């Protein structure tokens, strides 16, 4: 990554939630990234002029900015709150990311800056190879050209030494993730490298940056820390520790299921490594659109041939099924913002990370503070 990156700012003031970037009424088109992205920011707001109010977002405004030179960074005061993280990320990166070689209709990379970036949206941006950074954007405006110094942790006016703001990376691994094309490719590559070197009798590889680990403590562990620790094969996990706990349960629901299917194909997954992977159709069963009917017929076989369990339209809600099948003191995740386990513990994730958890049986996690 360059020491200095010059970018033009596309700023959306106030809070941008995932429904602004990936509107729920357009959920049927989420797997078709270029089509779905047309609905991004389709409602007028300060500084944003949609092409067709309520239907098509500010395409002309974005194209005009592209013609002015410099890559474009998506900037907002608060970015990514809400539950449609993967499709929102796809929309942002479709306009402001880079083409993926030999992969049509999908982009990665890009830059996303905000005074506050919602945690799961931040993680989803990481997975897609983008560079999400939190810093004060109050002195940055639509159309500005800025110079970002990722190694020095500062943002300056273009071709100037005037510092607008400073920042710290959330994790030292972030730049490695960008270089690898995303957090998931980095995890897979790092794991393959370690296993290959161990097989060849070579010492551990130190080229990869490693996450900062919290200081040792003699204090006890909370119940949540013990459950995650058990999934990692240790007594407990301290807040701030990077870990990859074993996933026992993974849930996928229908408005994100087709995206999860695409992510599983990208991972070349032919069989799930998680004990229980469950797919539901509780959001589209009552009033299905034609594309939903097609999904109802094709997605169950895709899940079941890989060793998963698929409900059928009308069988009920994913949470009530999952909650009957959970095992105590285990860890899981789900592609639905309401996936909260009454026994064991769950961590929410975007559909890309849900696919990774189902395929590999583990999920990358920076252990949060515990209240349990």
pLDDT digits (tens, 9 = 90+) for 208-264: 888 877 888 888 999 999 999 999 999 999 999 999 999 999 999 998 899 999 999
How much is the average pLDDT of 42-57? Answer: 96
pLDDT digits (tens, 9 = 90+) for 179-214: 999 999 999 999 899 999 999 999 988 888 888 778
| Residue 338: band (very low, low, confident or very high) from pLDDT cuts 50, 70, 90 | low
Q: Which residues contact 13 (CB under 8 A, 6 or more apart)?
A: 45, 46, 47, 76, 77
Three-point CA angle 280, 282, 287, nearest 5°: 130
Reply yes or no on whether the pLDDT at 372 is more than 70. no
Q: Determine which helix (DSSP H) or strand (DSSP E) holds 127, and give its type and residue range.
A: helix 119-127
Q: Quote the pLDDT of residue 42.
A: 97
DSSP states of 263-320 as a string? HHHHTT-SS--SSEEEE--TTTSSS--HHHHHHHHHHHHHHHTTT-EE--TTS--HHH
How much is the average pLDDT of 54-70? Answer: 95
| Residue 324: band (very low, low, confident or very high) from pLDDT cuts 50, 70, 90 | very high
pLDDT digits (tens, 9 = 90+) for 128-150: 999 999 999 999 999 999 999 99
CA distance 15 to 232: 36
Q: Quote the pLDDT of residue 266.
A: 93
Nearest alpha-carbon partner for 18 in 138, 137, 117: 117
| pTM for the predicted model, two decimal places | 0.90
CA distance 98 to 111: 10
How much is the average pLDDT of 5-23? Answer: 96
Reply yes or no on whether the pLDDT at 302 is more than 90. yes
Reply yes or no on whether the pLDDT at 21 is more than 70. yes
Q: Quote the pLDDT of residue 337.
A: 66
Domains and CATH numbers, the chain: 5-170 (3.20.19.10), 249-367 (3.30.499.10)
Q: Provide, for the chain, the percentages of residues in helix, strand and coil under a 3-state DSSP scheme, each rounded to the nearest 5.
A: 35, 20, 45
């Amino acid at each position: 990554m360059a020491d200095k990156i010059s970018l033009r700012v596309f700023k959306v003031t106030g809070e941008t939630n995932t429904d602004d970037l990936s509107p729920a009424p357009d959920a049927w088109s989420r797997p078709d990234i270029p089509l779905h992205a047309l609905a991004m920011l389709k409602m007028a707001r300060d500084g944003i002029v949609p092409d067709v109010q309520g239907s098509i977002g500010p395409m002309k405004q974005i194209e005009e900015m592209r013609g002015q030179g410099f890559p474009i960074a998506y900037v907002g005061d608060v970015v990514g709150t809400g539950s449609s993280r993967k499709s929102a990320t796809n929309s942002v990166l479709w306009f402001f990311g880079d083409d993926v070689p030999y992969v049509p209709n999908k982009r990665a990379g890009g830059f996303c800056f905000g005074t506050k970036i919602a945690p799961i949206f931040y993680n989803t941006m990481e997975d897609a190879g983008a560079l999400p950074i939190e810093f004060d954007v109050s002195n940055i405006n639509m159309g500005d050209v800025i110079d970002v110094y990722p190694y020095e942790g500062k943002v300056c006016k273009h071709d100037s030494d005037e510092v607008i703001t400073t920042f710290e990376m959330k994790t030292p691994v972030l730049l490695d993730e960008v270089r690898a094309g995303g957090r998931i490719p980095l995890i897979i590559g790092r794991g393959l490298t370690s296993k290959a070197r161990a097989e060849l009798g070579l010492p551990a590889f130190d080229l990869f940056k490693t996450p900062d680990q919290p200081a040792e403590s003699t204090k006890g562990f909370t119940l949540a820390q013990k459950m995650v620790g058990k999934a990692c094969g240790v007594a407990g996990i301290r807040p701030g520790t990077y870990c990859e706990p074993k996933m026992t349960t993974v849930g996928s629901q229908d408005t994100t299921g087709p995206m999860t299917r695409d992510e599983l194909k990208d991972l070349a997954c032919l069989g799930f490594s998680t004990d229980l992977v469950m797919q539901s159709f509780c959001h589209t069963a009552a009033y299905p659109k034609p594309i939903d009917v097609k999904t109802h017929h094709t997605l169950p076989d895709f899940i079941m041939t890989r060793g998963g369990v698929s409900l059928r339209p009308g069988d009920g809600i994913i949470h009530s099924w999952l909650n009957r099948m959970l095992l105590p003191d285990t860890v899981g995740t789900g592609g639905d913002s309401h996936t909260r386990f009454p026994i064991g513990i769950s961590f929410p994730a975007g559909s890309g990370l849900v696919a990774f958890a189902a395929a590999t049986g583990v999920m990358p996690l920076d252990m949060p503070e515990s209240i349990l």
